[in-house]
């Protein structure tokens, strides 16, 4: 059911054809037909994704500033990165981001999805409103939240001041910079998570609730014992996507804090960008990219393998 058909690699793509497409009469012509349909996508994917992917692996073994000729250094870049405290810091910041963002966006998205699933009126309208931030660009979201969370005259601190609370320095304060980014990001993605969970909720057979009700299960009991287990495929999807995207967090960091103050919110991708275009260390940047890719791949595979333990496919 769920992810296996909706996501990479796991889908069964070899549906046996019912029609024998005159294969024998013109094999050459058939090959040409296949190529005609496939090349428009195969050429750009090869030239601009697969090729560069391999090239990045090669560049990661070089010392290179993008201008002077490369010199081969083997795994030096990796060794340097793995012992570097900056690498450790940017990964820690990225994990901090995910640890704050994921619970916020999941619990918030679940609350809204449950509420909309129970609401009788205005569901489509409200869903439209909740989804609005999803279609907005990260840069706009970052700017708007920089303004809302402006320490001196932003609406959040002005409102807190009315109640006599001295609001924090938000994105200007090393301690509050990452929480500011987390709040803005969760706000943007809440609607996305809500729509996925709502679709999952609507796919649950109402008889299951009736049965639980007859057994005398209360609201909380039904949520924990019926809804959440049956919703687990959608939850799994949200977790996989959120972790993949979370490790690649960049746009909102770039526009909200630029990684600051004093590198307090510097994340992995920002570091890749800076290594390439500010420090002229393209080899190291490529090595860090590959480390990031391997981390993402490993975490995704662990999740896919671990899903048997908790994801319920009926």
CA distances from 193 to 186, 189, 238, 254, 265 (A): 10, 6, 7, 23, 24
For the packed helices 174-202 and 85-118, what is the interaxial angle rounded to 10 degrees? Answer: 40
Q: Are 182 and 101 in contact (CB under 8 A)?
A: yes
CA atoms in the 13 A half-sphere facing the CB of 149: 23
Q: Distance between CA atoms of 300 and 240, rounded to whole angstroms?
A: 6
Q: Are 142 and 230 in contact (CB under 8 A)?
A: no
Nearest distance, CB of residue 192 and other proteins, angstroms: 6
- List CB contacts of 290: < 8 A, sequence separation 6 or more: 56, 57, 60
Nearest distance, CB of residue 217 and other proteins, angstroms: 14
**96 vs 254, beta carbon nearer other proteins:** 254
Residue tagged 């996508």 (tokens): 41
**17 vs 206, beta carbon nearer other proteins:** 17
**227 vs 234, beta carbon nearer other proteins:** 234
Nearest distance, CB of residue 212 and other proteins, angstroms: 16
**45 vs 302, beta carbon nearer other proteins:** 45
**19 vs 214, beta carbon nearer other proteins:** 19
Nearest distance, CB of residue 207 and other proteins, angstroms: 18
**36 vs 68, beta carbon nearer other proteins:** 36
Q: Is the dihedral of CA 225, 229, 230, 234 positive or negative?
A: positive
Q: Are 91 and 291 in contact (CB under 8 A)?
A: no
Nearest distance, CB of residue 99 and other proteins, angstroms: 20
Nearest distance, CB of residue 174 and other proteins, angstroms: 19
**121 vs 308, beta carbon nearer other proteins:** 121
Give the residue from 93, 95, 65 showing the smallest Cα distance to 285. 65
């Amino acid at each position: 059911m769920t992810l296996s058909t909706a996501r990479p690699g796991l889908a069964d793509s070899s549906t046996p054809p019912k029609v024998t497409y005159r294969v024998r009469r013109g094999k050459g012509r058939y090959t040409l037909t296949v190529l005609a349909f496939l090349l428009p996508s195969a050429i750009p994917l090869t030239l601009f994704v697969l090729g560069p992917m391999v090239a990045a692996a090669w560049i990661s073994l070089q010392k290179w500033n993008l201008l002077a000729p490369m010199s081969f250094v083997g795994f030096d870049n990796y060794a340097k990165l793995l012992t570097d405290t900056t690498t450790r810091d940017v990964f820690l910041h990225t994990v901090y981001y995910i640890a704050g963002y994921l619970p916020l966006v999941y619990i918030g998205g679940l609350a809204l999805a449950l509420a909309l699933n129970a609401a009788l009126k205005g569901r489509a309208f409200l869903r439209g409103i909740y989804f609005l931030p999803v279609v907005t660009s990260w840069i706009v979201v970052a700017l708007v939240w920089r303004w809302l969370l402006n320490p001196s005259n932003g609406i959040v601190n002005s409102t807190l001041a009315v109640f006599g609370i001295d609001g924090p320095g938000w994105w200007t304060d090393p301690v509050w910079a990452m929480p500011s980014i987390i709040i803005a990001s969760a706000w943007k993605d809440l609607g996305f998570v809500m729509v996925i969970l709502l679709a999952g909720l609507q796919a649950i057979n109402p008889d299951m609730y009736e049965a639980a009700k007859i057994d005398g299960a209360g609201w909380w009991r039904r949520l924990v014992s019926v809804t959440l287990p049956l919703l687990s495929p959608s939850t799994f999807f949200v977790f996989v996507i959120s972790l993949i995207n979370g490790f690649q967090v960049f746009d909102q960091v770039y526009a909200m804090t630029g990684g600051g103050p004093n590198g307090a919110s510097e994340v992995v991708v920002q570091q890749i960008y800076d290594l390439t275009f500010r420090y002229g260390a393209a080899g190291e940047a490529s090595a860090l990219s590959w480390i990031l890719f391997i981390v993402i791949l490993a975490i995704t595979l662990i999740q896919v393998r671990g899903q048997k333990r908790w994801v319920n496919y009926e």
